[in-house]
Amino acid sequence: MTTQPLIGLEVHAQLLTASKMFCGCPTEFGAPPNTQVCPICTAQPGALPVPNQRAVEMTILTGLALHCDIAPRSVFARKNYFYPDLTKNYQISQYEQPLCENGYVLIDTESGPKRIRVRRVHLEEDTGKNIHGGAGAASRIDFNRCGLPLMEIVSEPDLTSADECRAYLQKLQLILRWIGVCNGNMEEGSMRCEPTVNVIEVGGSAKTALVEIKNLASFRAVHQAVDYEILRHTRALLAGESTTRETRRWLAEGRTETMRSKEEAHDYRYFPEPDLMPLEVDEAMVTRIGADMPEGPDEVRERLIEQYELSSYDATVMTQSREFAAFFEAAAGAAEDPKAVANWMQGDFARLLNETGTPLAESKVSPAGLADLVRLIADGAISGKMAKTVFERMFETGKAPALIVDEEGMSQISDTSALEPVIDKAIADNPEAVENYRSGKKKALGALVGQIMKETKGQANPALVNELLVQRLGE
């Protein structure tokens, strides 16, 4: 029997609004418990919700970025269940008429680009947080998160491996950050993922029951949990064992366990939310929101390949974020050597940003500064080795590279008359190396170059030194 895993991903993304979904409470992460709450988000009697216009617009923008149809009419619904993290005993969500439907995300796979269909994007509110394991037999509830605006992005089961799931999540994270609607932080829970997994028989009718996985707080956990479930389902299918539709929890020890059976838990008795009016989105509104849409990561990537002749790999690295791509373009436009700019950005620049934990936006290096540095190297004013030191100073101080070269007396010696005495001295000091070179051991030149670089404190132009040496020794 040939088997095929089918995985769908449900992603919850917290929108970057200033206030909550249905009330004016602030949305900052990490505030002391129950200090960002009000009568509405704690469901005091008589309090009524009013939707956040910005959250609606951000969801529509997301729908456009994911190539969705935007519903001309959309309604909120009550999802009824009892749990202490829910103040109203229902969650306001969308059910039959979501804001966005029928889109897709393009991912890179080993066999080329693949289209992962997006079934729907809808708007809802987050729940509070239960803090377990406190003193005694009590659970503590913090409602700061209750009512935060969430988008739920549901894919079709088009993913067939853990690698594809990761690629999809990374792409989705990139897009959401790119258009500025979500910070994509999985550790803080502002982007959460619940995969639905089963395995089917290819060309047959055998299949395992759908399982939803919860408690995944990183890309790595998603990858591991999906891999684990694919293996579990495949074994069950091959052995002809029956499986049950259920929700399973991922455990840090590297396996999943049953959390609850699905039929029971999913009886949510949805009905239209009587406290809220429908949303009507006309074409003018879609056009107005779409006007805020930046050129997307895929488009920018293609353009970088075309316009700056970058390799596909370089173009992917340069479009890791909108800020990174903008920095690259600003520097490449001024530097005349886009490839060199790309090398610096993914080399020393990325390393220093990473080592110091500095976001690109806060870096002291400007695109013009990086372009200047690349030009100094191209002009032969400094060597590649010196440039590394200059760049570190730029990163620390934000000074222009030419100024650093001046101040630190680092400029390269490319003046033949200045180098000749040093070369003469090296030849005189190393008769053996000279002898070896002349008898055919070309490597012997290295010893001479080494002494010249030492004498000039690394400032001699290495290409020129080589050229002059070869010329002199050939005489």
Partner 1 sequence: MIPVSVTRDDVAHVARLARLAMSEQELDQMHGYFEAILEHFAKLAAVDTEGVEPTSHPLARANVTREDCVTEPMDRTKLLANAPLADGECFLVPQIMEDE
- Does 25 bind partner 1 (CB under 8 A)? Our answer is yes
User: Comparing C-alpha atoms, which of 151, 145, 150 is closest to residue 129?
Assistant: 145
| Rounded Cα gap, residues 234 and 206, in angstroms | 11
Task: Report 45-84 residues binding partner 1 (CB under 8 A).
Answer: 50-56, 73, 75, 80-84
Q: Specify the residue, 50 or 378, whose C-beta has the smaller distance to partner 1.
A: 50
Q: Specify the residue, 130 or 471, whose C-beta has the smaller distance to partner 1.
A: 130
| Residue at 278: amino acid letter | P
Number of residues forming the site for partner 1 (CB under 8 A): 54
| Rounded Cα gap, residues 397 and 395, in angstroms | 6
Alpha-helix residue ranges (DSSP H) falling in 179-279 = 219-239, 262-265
Stretch that binds partner 1, among 98-106, 266-274, 382-390, 393-401 (CB under 8 A): 266-274
Q: Specify the residue, 137 or 239, whose C-beta has the smaller distance to partner 1.
A: 137
Q: Take residue 246 and report the two structure tokens written for it.
A: 């259920």
Q: What is the contact mask toward partner 1 in residues 96 to 125, using x (rule: CB under 8 A)?
A: -x----------------------------
Least Å distance between CB 97 and partner 1? 8
| Contacting residue, 2, 253, 269, 357, with partner 1 by CB under 8 A | 269
- Does 270 bind partner 1 (CB under 8 A)? Our answer is no
Identify whether the C-beta of residue 198 lies closer than 8 Å to the C-beta of residue 3. no
Q: What is the contact mask toward partner 1 in residues 125 to 164, using x (rule: CB under 8 A)?
A: -----xxx----xxxxxxx---------------------
* Rg of the chain, C-alpha, whole Å: 30
Identify whether the C-beta of residue 388 lies closer than 8 Å to the C-beta of residue 348. yes
What are the backbone angles phi and psi of residue 144, rounded to the nearest 5°? -55, -40
| Contacting residue, 4, 34, 366, 389, with partner 1 by CB under 8 A | 34
Residue 415: strand, helix, or coil: coil
Stretch that binds partner 1, among 12-20, 117-125, 226-234, 460-468 (CB under 8 A): 12-20
Stretch that binds partner 1, among 18-26, 298-306, 362-370, 394-402 (CB under 8 A): 18-26
What are the backbone angles phi and psi of residue 439, rounded to the nearest 5°? -90, 10
Least Å distance between CB 103 and partner 1? 23
| Rounded Cα gap, residues 411 and 405, in angstroms | 6
Q: Take residue 88 and report the two structure tokens written for it.
A: 């109203």
DSSP 159-181: B-SHHHHHHHHHHHHHHHHHTTS
Stretch that binds partner 1, among 169-177, 184-192, 220-228, 269-277 (CB under 8 A): 269-277
Q: Specify the residue, 280 or 420, whose C-beta has the smaller distance to partner 1.
A: 280
Alpha-helix residue ranges (DSSP H) falling in 398-457 = 401-407, 416-429, 431-438, 445-455
- Does 253 bind partner 1 (CB under 8 A)? Our answer is no
Identify whether the C-beta of residue 252 lies closer than 8 Å to the C-beta of residue 243. no
- Those residues whose C-beta lies under 8 Å from the C-beta of residue 16, and which sit 6 or more positions away, are 58, 180, 181, 182, 183
| Rounded Cα gap, residues 359 and 341, in angstroms | 18
Identify whether the C-beta of residue 325 lies closer than 8 Å to the C-beta of residue 178. no
- Does 250 bind partner 1 (CB under 8 A)? Our answer is no
| Contacting residue, 106, 236, 259, 350, with partner 1 by CB under 8 A | 259
Least Å distance between CB 124 and partner 1? 15
Least Å distance between CB 33 and partner 1? 5
Chain residues binding partner 1 by CB under 8 A are 17-19, 23-26, 32-39, 42, 50-56, 73, 75, 80-84, 97, 130-132, 137-143, 249, 259-260, 264, 267, 269, 272, 274, 276-280
